[in-house]
């Protein structure tokens, strides 16, 4: 018998510390190689840590909620085999097997994300859970859909319910404040599908879905600044202080975009894939970047670097805060592939499983504030990017067409730009090009 210590690893993002969010083992539990032992929250994401040992947990060294520096021990495990096992599991001088094992497990988990029921995602506001994972608590109670940190509710497997809905759909309904008993299912045998829940949520004001909490008796509360909120605060201050922001926006008749979205939804090519106006907005941006490449640049003290590739960031509201994962080389994707990439990105974000690499090296960002019912806002640039584009809500308004006032589907688009890199003429052309595609999606055929 030998006792091994598991130090907090660097999970591949230059990590210096992390918070223990959930323990999945306790003293006396038997653990297998690569079994998930805990979840940690880094400055960017929630990460599961697998065990590098097979044995019995001797002691959990860190409590939930505690922040631990990388390299500090968090768990002790008693393993069989004595010195032979210790030698086999000891780190080699040239590498860190614990960190490597963790990175591999994280990569496998990210690669295996599937969405049963084709959930879409809240891009700054509309979201869904990823695939359900079955996990058992130490007391033996089964848990469906996600586990700790994902916001999923514990649902006994044998629970009977007249409502037919898969666990990811139940979680989506909970996140959007939708009572499933009020939803008419459009699936087989009345099963409630993702679109049924989203449709029900969209029929109510975004503010009506917010439950008013009881007033606190405390005169003030102190909330530790950590994790995603800490990273966001630092990034926004840096961007606001360093980049001179200029904002430009315009109203757009998006009626043809809405008609185009409707046609895509009925297309067999897009069957099972989430299609929304955001897809057309993203494709419009890629089209406009090709015509105005200066927008896709970054500023340094000695030069402006123009990127001839587009890593398209999508701001996503998640249970752990606002994050901006990006779609690598989005300029190479077809409309269908882009739709799938947006859907997968946002499902992963909503499930709290976005990995650090997915949020690195973005070149331009979209924020979809329309899902909150907002007409427009002035977003702050992501550090290192020249532009962030926003799209407001799309709703029916009076619009002058050929000298007559007619009801049209109207939205507002625009964004914030780094004035060190681009001037008003480039900014205006870029915004106008995006607006042109939303007014006439046939331009994408160019």
Task: Give the whole-angstrom CA distance, residue 351 versus residue 127.
Answer: 9
Burial of 93 (0-12, 13-18, 19+ CB in 10 A): exposed
DSSP state of 159: -
Are 233 and 226 in contact, with CB atoms under 8 Å apart?
A: no
> What distance in Å separates the CA atoms of residue 345 and residue 327, rounded to the nearest whole number?
8
Cβ atoms of 166 and 130 within 8 Å: the answer is: no
Q: What's phi and psi for 140, nearest 5 deg?
A: 95, 0
- In 10 A of CB 29, how many CB atoms? 16
Is 51 strand, coil or helix? Answer: coil
**Is 419 marked active-site?**
yes
Catalytic residue among 24, 115, 245, 419: 419
CA atoms in the 13 A half-sphere facing the CB of 208:
9
| Environment class of 272 (CB within 10 Å of its CB; exposed 0-12, middle 13-18, buried 19+) | exposed
Measured from the Cβ of residue 25, the count of other Cβ atoms closer than 10 Å reads 19
Q: Where are the beta strands (DSSP E) in 348-394?
A: 364-367, 387-391
Q: Angle, to 10 degrees, between the axis of helix 277-291 and the axis of helix 335-350?
A: 120
Helix axes 167-176, 194-202, angle to 10 degrees: 10
Contact indicator for 320, 22 with CB cutoff of 8 Å? no
The dihedral built from the CA positions of residue 317, 112, 327 and 96, taken in this order, carries a sign that is positive
d(CA 16, CA 348): 24
| Burial of residue 349 (number of CB atoms within 10 Å: 0-12, 13-18, 19+) | buried
Taking the C-alpha atoms of residue 245 and residue 383, their distance in angstroms, rounded to an integer, is: 12
Q: Which of 171, 172, 197, 160 has its CA nearest to residue 182?
A: 197
Listed in sequence order, the residues at least 6 apart from 400 whose beta carbon sits closer than 8 Å to its beta carbon are 406
How distant, in Å, are the alpha carbons of 50, 72, 269, 413, 443 from that of 437?
47, 53, 21, 12, 6
> Phi/psi at 424 (nearest 5 deg)?
-60, -35
Catalytic site residues?
419
């Amino acid at each position: 018998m030998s006792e091994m210590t598991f130090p907090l690893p660097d999970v591949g993002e230059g990590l210096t510390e992390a918070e223990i969010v959930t323990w999945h083992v306790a003293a006396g539990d038997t653990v297998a190689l690569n079994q998930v032992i805990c979840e940690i929250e880094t400055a960017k994401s929630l990460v599961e840590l697998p065990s590098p040992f097979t044995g019995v947990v001797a002691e959990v060294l860190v409590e939930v909620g505690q922040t631990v520096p990388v390299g500090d021990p968090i768990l002790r495990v008693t393993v069989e085999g004595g010195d032979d096992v210790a030698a086999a599991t000891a780190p080699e001088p040239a590498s860190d097997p614990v960190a490597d094992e963790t990175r591999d497990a994280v990569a496998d988990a990210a690669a295996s994300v599937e969405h049963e029921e084709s959930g879409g995602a809240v891009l700054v506001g509309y979201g869904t859970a990823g695939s359900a994972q079955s996990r058992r608590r130490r007391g033996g109670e089964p848990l469906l859909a996600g586990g700790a940190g994902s916001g999923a509710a514990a649902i006994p497997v044998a629970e009977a319910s007249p409502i037919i809905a898969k666990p990811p759909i139940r979680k989506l309904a909970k996140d959007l404040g939708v009572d499933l008993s009020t939803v008419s299912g459009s699936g087989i045998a009345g099963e409630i599908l993702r679109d049924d829940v989203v449709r029900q949520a969209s029929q109510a004001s975004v503010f009506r879905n917010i439950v008013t909490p009881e007033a606190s008796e405390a005169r003030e509360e102190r909330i530790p600044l950590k994790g995603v909120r800490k990273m966001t605060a630092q990034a926004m201050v840096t961007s606001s202080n360093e980049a001179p922001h200029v904002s430009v926006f315009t109203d757009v008749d998006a009626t043809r975009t809405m008609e185009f979205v409707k046609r895509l939804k009925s297309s067999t090519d897009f069957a099972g894939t989430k299609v929304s106006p955001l897809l057309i907005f993203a494709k419009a941006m890629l089209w406009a970047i090709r015509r105005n490449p200066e927008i896709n640049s970054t500023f340094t003290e000695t030069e402006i670097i123009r990127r001839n590739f587009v890593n398209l960031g999508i701001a996503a509201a998640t249970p752990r805060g606002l994050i901006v994962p990006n779609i690598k080389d989005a300029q190479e994707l077809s409309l269908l592939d882009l739709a799938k990439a947006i859907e997968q990105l946002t499902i992963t974000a909503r499930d709290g499983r976005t990995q650090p690499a997915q949020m690195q090296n973005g070149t331009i960002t979209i924020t979809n504030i329309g899902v909150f019912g907002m007409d427009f806002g002035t977003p702050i640039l992501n550090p290192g990017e020249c532009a962030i584009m926003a799209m407001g809500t799309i709703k029916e308004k009076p619009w002058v067409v050929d000298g007559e006032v007619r009801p049209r589907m109207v939205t507002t688009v625009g964004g914030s730009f780094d004035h060190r890199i681009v001037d008003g003429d480039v900014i205006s052309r870029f915004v106008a090009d995006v607006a042109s595609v939303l007014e006439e999606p046939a331009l994408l055929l160019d």
